[in-house]
Amino acid sequence: MDEPTRIRVLLVDDHSVVRMGLRSFFDMLDDIEVVGEASDGSEGVAMARRLTPDVVLMDLLMPNMDGVTAIGRIKAEMPETEIVTMTSFIEEEKVTAALEAGASGYVLKDAEADEVADAIRAAFRGEVHLDPAVARLLAQRMRQKKDPSEELVEPLTERERDVLRLLGQGKSNKEIGAELFITERTARTYVSNILGKLGLASRTQAALWAVEHKLAEPGKA
pLDDT (0 to 100) of residue 141: 60
Q: Is 192 exposed, middle or buried (0-12, 13-18, 19+ CB in 10 A)?
A: exposed
Query: What does pLDDT average to over the chain?
Result: 83
Q: In what order do the strands lie in the sheet with 105-108?
A: 32-38, 7-12, 55-58, 82-87, 105-108, 129-130
104 versus 84: the higher-pLDDT residue is 84
Most confident of 53-57, 118-122, 136-140, 170-174: 53-57
Q: Is the pLDDT of residue 58 over 90?
A: yes
pLDDT (0 to 100) of residue 144: 57
| Dihedral sign for Cα atoms in the order 67, 73, 76, 78 | negative
Q: Confidence class of residue 150 from pLDDT cuts 50, 70 and 90? A: very low
Closest CA to 84 of 46, 32, 136: 32
Lowest-confidence region among 12-26, 48-62, 194-208:
194-208
Q: Can you tell me whether residue 145 is helix, strand or coil?
A: helix
158-181: average pLDDT: 88
61-89: average pLDDT: 90
Most confident of 80-89, 90-99, 140-149: 80-89
Is residue 204 within 8 A of residue 103, CB to CB? The reply is yes
* pTM tops 0.85: no
Q: Is the pLDDT of residue 212 over 80?
A: no
Lowest-confidence region among 54-58, 113-117, 145-149, 172-176:
145-149
pLDDT (0 to 100) of residue 147: 47
Is residue 14 within 8 A of residue 39, CB to CB? The reply is yes
pLDDT (0 to 100) of residue 128: 78
In the chain, what are the domains?
Answer: 7-124 (3.40.50.2300), 149-212 (1.10.10.10)
